[in-house]
Amino acid sequence: MKIRVLHILPNFGPGGAERLVVDLMEAMDKERFEVAAVSLFPESGTMLEQEVREKGLNVFFLNKRRGPDPNVVRPLSSVIRTFKPQVVHTHLYVLRYALLPSLFHRVPVRVHTMHNVAQKEVDAVGKWVHRLAFGFLGVVPVSISQEVASTVRAVYGPRVQTPVIYNGIPLERFSGGGVQTWPRRGKLVWIHVGRFAPQKNHRLLVEAFAQALARLPSMELWLVGEGPLRPQVEEQVQKAGLVEYVRFLGLRRDIPELLSQADALLLPSDWEGVPLVVLEAMAAGKPVVATKVGGVPELVEHGVTGFLVPPGDPGALAEAILRVASSGELRRQMGEAGWERVRERFDIRQTARAYGELYLGLLEKTRGGYGHR
């Protein structure tokens, strides 16, 4: 009998956690696991929702409203009762809604992936729920890096056991070279992929790029994504006189092709878990310049696959930009080293196997075995 796994997440928006769930659903061993997912929010026409439909993945969409909505617990409970999972796997803030129904229906294994450092993962209510779930109710928190694991122990107590399973990506999606989908203009291209939100620190990104551009003007910056801070960043670009050098590409489905066309990735975030875009850039053979935050140093080998700089330091970021931009040979060497590192350590098939082994090990420890008790 196949083991039924139910992922629960807020929605299928453009974030890394959502991308990971879709990739995991595809990569799990179909002979051993039957996998479905629940989106608490209804469909809203996102690109990932379209991909889920095109691939025929088993997904339930509920009708959660914005803000706290306890009414979503009942339809979620109905899905759990109908699907009868042996494993409920929650993501982001949804544990506050999924905990009670998964306990009520006696789901043997309850796993929660920590996609970010524990201090930033959820709000105060979420931390209270997580503390209860991890400490007393048998929910297993999975950390996506050693740094995230250390924050889990710091926030929820040193006795909390949190296995580390690194995120992975489908390598074949990013290693094909790709078709040109956005015109280059004969300049060295830096790319940033991420939501226009405080975490990503676009303001520092533009400031550092301006400093570097003053010394090496044959560059341009592609900004991929949307978010509430985009108008402010557009205004900053205009005031700095960078309109000819910074291009806003919006939300895109052709990230692999864009990474293939770019020369290097920039990621100046103030905090991160394990950003998938870093792995994607490395899989595309591109060097990475990023801030030394969260799990990023566990992905980027400083001086080998890219450069790591302190967060909040535009001068250091500008210097790293110039070092990479000034040497085609350095970019080639770093790109090759990044590809090898991703191939060896961050293939989605490795991630899927690790989660599968975790599920099986936890099921063995439950008295009910593979069935409901």
Whether 371 is covered by a domain: the verdict is no
Helix ranges (DSSP H) in the chain: 16-27, 47-55, 73-83, 95-104, 118-121, 124-136, 146-156, 202-215, 230-239, 255-261, 276-283, 314-325, 328-345, 348-365
Predicted local distance difference test score (pLDDT) of residue 298: 96
Query: What is the C-alpha separation between 215 and 170, in angstroms, rounded?
Result: 37
Radius of gyration for the alpha carbons in the chain, expressed in angstroms and rounded: 21
The answer to whether residues 158 and 204 belong to one domain is no
Whether 271 is covered by a domain: the verdict is yes
Structural domains counted in the chain: 2
Sheet-wide strand order for 33-39: 59-61, 33-39, 3-9, 87-91, 109-114, 140-143
Give the structural domain span for 321: 171-345
The mean pLDDT of the chain is 94
The answer to whether residues 164 and 186 belong to one domain is no
Query: What is the C-alpha separation between 36 and 83, in angstroms, rounded?
Result: 8
Predicted local distance difference test score (pLDDT) of residue 371: 44
The answer to whether residues 337 and 206 belong to one domain is yes
The answer to whether residues 207 and 329 belong to one domain is yes
The answer to whether residues 164 and 192 belong to one domain is no
The answer to whether residues 54 and 117 belong to one domain is yes
| Mean pLDDT for the stretch of residues 285-311 | 97
Query: What is the C-alpha separation between 69 and 64, in angstroms, rounded?
Result: 6
The answer to whether residues 128 and 215 belong to one domain is no
Query: What is the C-alpha separation between 284 and 61, in angstroms, rounded?
Result: 33
Whether 324 is covered by a domain: the verdict is yes
Query: What is the C-alpha separation between 57 and 360, in angstroms, rounded?
Result: 22
The answer to whether residues 78 and 94 belong to one domain is yes
Report DSSP letters for 191-244, one per residue: EEES-SSGGG-HHHHHHHHHHHHHH--SEEEEEE---TTHHHHHHHHHHTT-TT
| 78-124 residue pLDDT tens | 999 999 999 999 999 999 999 999 999 999 999 999 999 999 999 99
By residue count, the chain amounts to 373
| 145-200 residue pLDDT tens | 999 999 999 999 999 999 999 999 999 888 755 445 566 667 999 999 999 999 99
- Are the C-beta atoms of 204 and 267 separated by less than 8 Å? no
Structure tokens at 81: 């009762």
Measured in whole angstroms, how far is the alpha carbon of residue 259 from the centre of its chain?
Answer: 16
Residue type, 63: N
Whether 302 is covered by a domain: the verdict is yes
| 326-369 residue pLDDT tens | 999 999 999 999 999 999 999 999 999 999 999 999 999 986 54
Whether 372 is covered by a domain: the verdict is no
Whether 20 is covered by a domain: the verdict is yes
Which residues are 290's β-sheet partners? 267, 308
Whether 63 is covered by a domain: the verdict is yes
Predicted local distance difference test score (pLDDT) of residue 190: 98
Which CATH number belongs to the domain containing residue 100 in this structure?
Answer: 3.40.50.2000
The answer to whether residues 284 and 316 belong to one domain is yes
The answer to whether residues 144 and 205 belong to one domain is no
Looking at residue 302, the DSSP 8-state letter turns out to be B
Selected residue with higher pLDDT from 130 and 172: 130
Neighbour-count burial of 328, counting CB atoms closer than 10 A to its CB (0-12 exposed, 13-18 middle, 19+ buried): exposed
The answer to whether residues 320 and 209 belong to one domain is yes
Whether 373 is covered by a domain: the verdict is no
Query: What is the C-alpha separation between 338 and 335, in angstroms, rounded?
Result: 5
The answer to whether residues 136 and 257 belong to one domain is no
Structure tokens at 56: 């025929």
